[in-house]
Structure 1
Amino acid sequence: MPGMTGMAGMAQPVNADAPVATDTVAIENFAYSPATITVKAGTTVTWTNRDQDPHTVTAMNDGPFHSPTLNNGQSFRFTFTEPGRFDYLCTIHPFMTATVVVTP
């Protein structure tokens, strides 16, 4: 139509799996939120359990971090010193998975 300029101004879908630049992750509703975060090397990430059930934050493939069991309101912190992709899960509920992407 005359005067239209393509898709400009239209709402675009949000990719729920897109990495989010943050250093905090909530554990709620049996999920890590956001599911993928991006941080720079040297950043400390904090996970906080907001569920009533206990959870862990455990790196896969013999990765560098493993939290104790976190009860409601408890947090775990880890400082990422090397770039890379770090997939992790809850050892109590292994269907709960997420990723930290560390950039230089």
Structure 2
Amino acid sequence: MKSILLNARGARRRVWLSRIAIAAAGMLTLTLPALSNAADADTVHIEHFTFSPATLTVRAGTRVTWTNRDDEPHTVTSSGNPRAFASGALDTDGTFAFTFDKPGTYPYYCAIHPHMTGVIVVK
């Protein structure tokens, strides 16, 4: 009789633990997209002839990466004089990265399509 009670308790405990494991896996699944969005916090996408986001605010020391998702080449060219950065032409899926060490406002544009503009604000 005692072994039957112990087996029943063990079975209930296994069911309870499996439910906790399923709940934890579900929470992890919901959390992973948020973590991947955090990785995108320092990324600018070039698509549909725009920089997205058009204005990005980062902390000093942040490395910002631009990725061209258009079928046309684009550049990431600092508007400042002297130029703080210039990527050269980026083909589809091409990337350019620059580390912003000093606080300030850094406007930029595409030298091929000058109507495309963006700003990096460094705090």
* Superposition TM-score tier, normalisation by shorter sequence: 0.7 to 0.9
One-letter identity of the residue aligned with 2:104: G
Using the alignment, how far apart are the partners of 1:68 and 1:61 within structure 2?
16
Higher relative CO (Cα under 8 Å, sequence separation at least 6) belongs to 1
Using the alignment, how far apart are the partners of 2:97 and 2:80 within structure 1?
19
Using the alignment, how far apart are the partners of 1:71 and 1:61 within structure 2?
24
> Unaligned stretches of 5+ in structure 2?
1-39
Between structures 1 and 2, the one with greater helix share: 2
TM-score under structure 2 length normalisation: 0.66
1:69 equivalent among 89, 113, 120: 89
1:2-55 per-position Cα deviation (integer Å, ceiling 9, x unaligned): xxxxxxxxxxxxxxxxxxx92100000000000000000000000000000000
One-letter identity of the residue aligned with 1:69: A
Name the % identity.
Answer: 54
> Unaligned stretches of 5+ in structure 1?
1-20
Using the alignment, how far apart are the partners of 1:35 and 1:22 within structure 2?
13
TM-score under structure 1 length normalisation: 0.77
Between structures 1 and 2, the one with greater strand share: 1
**Matching residue of 1:82:** 102
Contact 2:80 2:106 (C-alpha < 8 Å) held by counterparts: no
Aligned residues: CA RMSD: 1.2
Q: Which runs of 4+ in 1 moved over 3 A?
A: none
* Counterpart mapping for 1:1-104 below 5 A: 22-62=41-81, 63-103=83-123
